[in-house]
Amino acid sequence: MGQRIHACNVQELADGEKRVVANAPLALAVCRVKDEWFAFENNCTHEDFPLTEGAVDGTEIECALHGARFCLRTGEIRAVPASCPIRVFPVHVNGDAVYVELP
């Protein structure tokens, strides 16, 4: 198990909302889709633009700069112009606290 970082509390994010995790050692963000939580590196692999500026559509996130899309579960590319997947990380909910596990 790697390092666990407190990302937010459950009630702080509604369905479809995302936020930057400020206390992380990398550009990290979390997103809530219904009762499922996702953590991902907050940089589009196409132009290094913050993905939190884009829209969440189901379990995909779209970069606002050029429209690259990524799967929030796996990080895989769903639409170009990105050519590399994004890194995703396990999320653990313990009571009201949401944690991201980093390697």
pLDDT in tens, 28-50: 999 999 999 999 999 999 999 99
Averaged pLDDT, 69-94 = 98
pTM of the model: 0.95
Q: Which of 1, 18, 15, 12 is nearest to 70 (CA)?
A: 18
Please provide the size of the chain in residues.
103
Number of domains in the chain: 1
The C-alpha angle 57, 44, 31, rounded to 5 degrees, equals: 40
Q: What is the CATH number of the domain that holds 36?
A: 2.102.10.10
Domain that holds residue 71: 3-102
